[in-house]
């Protein structure tokens, strides 16, 4: 930041102290790739009654408007676009939590103090590619970074995707075959600060019921190049999970209930190292048995 009497810096954004505006500041922590974290701040400048006010705050806020405690793990990584396998959590990711809404449904808010920089050491050009922000959600009280069954699939954090329905694992189904809770994550920006709001989804898009005694993996048939990482959905044996198709996320708010959805593939998740193949394409727009 600078005043009219200071020389502008050679790099970085500049906001003059005699005008109103805001800039972002990024601070990277750690020296070893794969173990680095990024702190993001929003610095705003305003004048009130002749007094110059500089306000420094976290770039991202998360708001819990649900009735349950939610755990979250913020991450930044290079986009892989599409994967034929399920997401594998990073063991040493940082986990935060946010309390449920209080009395009279007063939402609780918390900051996203840092993002884990997830690097792919096998990709030598990873540092030259843009990083994408993702957040993982969990309702498991014993959620740890490396417990895959406790975490949702990564949810993209980007302005062009203002609403997403996230299937958040419950951990214990409690006699109910649904082992996830559908939570809507909305994205908003105001004066340089990003607000992520979590609300219970009153009308989930898709529920997948697995009546088989083996776990299954579901892959969407995405024909175009996806705009963010799309992972396969694991469906535990004799359980049901919520799901939202990539088409529904990427086309919001233009998507319609009667839109034709792309087909999906299924395969059995083997307990050993046996390789299983994907099924034929399944048309989920037609009712009946296939």
* pLDDT range class, residue 201, cuts 50, 70, 90: very high
- How deeply is 287 buried, as exposed, middle or buried, from its count of CB atoms within 10 A (0-12, 13-18, 19+)? exposed
Q: For residue 269, is the peptide bond before it cis, meaning its omega torsion is within 30 degrees of 0?
A: no
Concatenated DSSP letters of 86-103: E----TT---EEEPPP-G
Closest CA to 161 of 211, 66, 114, 228: 228
pLDDT digits (tens, 9 = 90+) for 210-256: 999 999 999 999 888 888 888 899 998 899 999 999 988 988 777 66
pLDDT digits (tens, 9 = 90+) for 18-70: 567 788 888 888 877 667 899 999 888 888 888 888 888 999 999 999 999 99
Task: Supply the pLDDT for residue 141.
Answer: 84
pLDDT digits (tens, 9 = 90+) for 124-150: 444 556 788 999 999 998 777 667 788
Above 60 in pLDDT, residue 15? Answer: no
Task: Supply the pLDDT for residue 121.
Answer: 44
Task: Supply the pLDDT for residue 248.
Answer: 87
- Number of residues written out for the chain: 290
Above 60 in pLDDT, residue 16? Answer: no
Task: Supply the pLDDT for residue 258.
Answer: 55
- How deeply is 182 buried, as exposed, middle or buried, from its count of CB atoms within 10 A (0-12, 13-18, 19+)? buried
Closest CA to 57 of 24, 87, 33: 24
Above 80 in pLDDT, residue 104? Answer: no
4-11: Cβ within 8 A, 24+ apart: none
Decide: 207 and 243 in contact? Cβ < 8 Å: yes
Above 60 in pLDDT, residue 288? Answer: yes
How far is Cα 220 from Cα 281, in angstroms, rounded to an integer? Answer: 9
């Amino acid at each position: 930041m600078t005043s009219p009497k200071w020389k502008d810096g050679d790099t970085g954004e500049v906001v003059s102290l005699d005008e109103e505006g805001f800039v972002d500041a990024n601070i990277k922590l750690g020296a070893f790739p794969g173990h680095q974290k990024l702190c993001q701040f929003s610095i705003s400048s305003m004048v009130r009654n002749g007094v110059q006010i500089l306000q420094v705050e976290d770039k991202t806020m998360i708001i819990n408007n649900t009735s349950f405690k939610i755990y979250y793990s913020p991450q930044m990584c290079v986009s892989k676009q599409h994967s034929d396998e399920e997401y594998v959590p990073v063991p040493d990711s940082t986990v935060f939590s946010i309390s449920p809404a209080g009395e009279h449904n007063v939402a609780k808010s918390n900051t996203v103090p840092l993002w884990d920089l997830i690097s792919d050491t096998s990709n030598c050009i990873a540092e030259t590619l843009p990083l994408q922000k993702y957040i993982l959600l969990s309702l498991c009280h014993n959620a740890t970074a490396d417990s895959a069954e406790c975490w949702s699939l990564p949810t993209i954090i980007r302005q062009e995707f203002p609403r997403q329905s996230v299937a958040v694992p419950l951990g214990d189904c409690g006699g109910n075959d649904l082992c996830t809770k559908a939570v809507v994550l909305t994205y908003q920006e105001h004066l340089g600060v990003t607000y992520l709001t979590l609300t219970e989804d009153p009308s989930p898009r898709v529920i997948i019921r697995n009546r088989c005694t083996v776990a299954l993996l579901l892959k969407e048939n995405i024909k175009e190049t996806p705009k963010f990482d799309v992972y396969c959905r694991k469906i535990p044996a004799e359980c049901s999970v919520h799901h939202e198709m990539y088409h529904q996320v990427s086309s919001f708010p233009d998507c319609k209930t009667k839109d034709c959805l792309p087909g999906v593939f299924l395969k059995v998740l083997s307990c050993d190292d046996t390789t299983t193949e994907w099924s034929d394409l399944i048309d989920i727009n037609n009712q009946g048995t296939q």
